[in-house]
Amino acid sequence: MRIAMAQLNVHIGDFEGNKAKIIDACHKAISLKADLVCFSELVTCGYPPQDFLEFADFVQMSENVVDSLLELSHEIAIVVGSPIINPKTEGKDLLNCAIFLEGGKRKYTQAKTLLPTYDIFDEYRYFEPATEWNVVEFKGKKIALTVCEDIWNVGNENPLYPICPMDEMMDQRPDLMLNISASPFHYAHAQERIDVLKSNVERYKVPIFYCNEVGAQTEIIFDGGSIVMSPNGQVYEEMPYFEECIRVYDLQDVIDGKIERVQEKNKIALIHDAIVLGIKDYFAKLGLKKAILGLSGGIDSALTAVLAVRALGSENVRVLLMPSQYSSGHSVDDARALAEALGIRYDIVPIRPIFDMYEKTLGPLFDDLPPNVTEENIQARIRGMLLMAVSNKHGNILLNTTNKSELAVGYGTMYGDLCGGLAVLGDVYKTEVYELSHYVNKDKEIIPINSIQKPPSAELRPGQKDSDSLPEYNVLDPILYQYVEMRKSPQDIIEMGYDEATVRRALRLVNINEFKRYQSPPVIRVSSKSFGMGRRLPIVAKYLN
């Protein structure tokens, strides 16, 4: 048996476009003499469809895509992921299914059993879990169909779930397993997937074909990396990350397991590629082309500009340099040097004349109170207004340059430097920004070295540095990581050896600034816990305040 794996970049709700990609992949698999082609979870409609699943028309159009494949299934068997209506009267209205098409018919449908409701997932909101598990026979082989999370409870050891679908099928003696997935990227997840698949192979002793989605859906990135694993625990092949790919495998070769091909898993390289894909797909799937951002001469905006150019092309990226009376001359020079090196359009718009007008207008309303953060925020909002004005006039979507450290502690101005259509670095800590910048410069200097080496500053008052208001980032970031990603309590973090006053101050800042994150743009997710749909905290809460 020859099995094709098709990891595709589909678009939520683009049924005609998705159908065309699936059919084209089927034809390629046929030309490669495959007997069966496997696609990813909910490939007909895109993942995650969220509340679109509450529209009967959306579900029907997904069904129509499946029906359009029936004729092709005379030439090749097809395993496709799609939502279907639950035929039972009890339970949720829908099932998340792997559908096996052969000979012009829906030969077998296996519903997903384990419905995740953590982090970005909310599947039990829509779907009813499977209560029946059977293998499907094809070309003399018994195939166990599973859907994504179904393989993440090996031996029923995951406390989130009471059942293990593969355990239920083992008495039917399957010869292989097909798993269709939409498994989101974070920088450690590729290795976690391999570890989970190896656990499955160790327990069930069958080859596994794991087909994953690729592409970005707003803030969520799918990295592909589909896996074919031999019964001996070797990774027969791990398909490319962040790109569409169709490959065909001979089942007997996989069973023999004499080859192992695994992708490199460099954290910073993976984050870089994920963000580039995130920007590219956000624009392409919304029908957008051009981006704009404020280029300050600092490291965050410099890195954002580089990533935007790599995603969209230099002709589609524009920047504004908006020095204030507190901006250093080298900041403007560094920003100009980067813009010229990248070949992007830049305009220099000093903000002091506008700020002077604000001061004159607001002076009578300020009642002779001394200058404070108000004046700093006015400058940030002037810059935001200028960027949004050019965005509106020319259709350039504003990219937000705030990093995760700043977003965590609220070190940003609402309707100023926190505005934008997409937060490029919102899931990248400041220390990781430095690592990414060095990675960008690994072959030659692209980001000016001065932008990397100078102390971080918003340059909104004389001699200002980030460290005036925050702990040094190499101290702050590990504390934030333990709280945000690892969900450690203040006391847990203190007991790890971190200074108590610093911990309590930092975590209080995180919690009191939740309201800012509610109004910030979507964040490209590259970690296991990003700000956005995967982290849901109340604004009005007493914890740590």
Asked about 41 being catalytic, the answer comes back as yes
- The answer to whether the beta carbons of residues 117 and 123 sit under 8 Å apart is yes
d(CA 522, CA 427): 10
Asked about 38 being catalytic, the answer comes back as no
Cα separation values, 412 from 256, 400, 477, Å: 56, 11, 16
d(CA 408, CA 511): 8
The DSSP code for 88 is S
Q: Where are the beta strands (DSSP E) in 58-140?
A: 77-85, 94-102, 105-111, 136-138
Instruction: Tell me the torsion sign for CA atoms 219, 225, 228, 232.
Output: negative
Q: What is the three-class DSSP state of 118?
A: coil
Of 26, 45, 148, 164, the catalytic one is 148
Q: What is the three-class DSSP state of 184?
A: strand
- The answer to whether the beta carbons of residues 22 and 244 sit under 8 Å apart is no
- Of 33, 20, 37, 62, residue with least CA distance to 211: 37
Residue 146: its H or E element: strand 141-147
d(CA 7, CA 10): 9
Asked about 238 being catalytic, the answer comes back as no
d(CA 188, CA 196): 13
> Which residues fall within 8 angstroms of residue 484, CB to CB, at 6 or more apart?
408, 510, 529, 531, 535
d(CA 147, CA 98): 7
Helices (H), 214-298: 251-256, 267-285
Instruction: Tell me the torsion sign for CA atoms 54, 55, 58, 62.
Output: positive
Of 26, 41, 238, 529, the catalytic one is 41
Of 19, 21, 112, 404, the catalytic one is 112
Residues annotated as part of the active site: 41, 112, 148
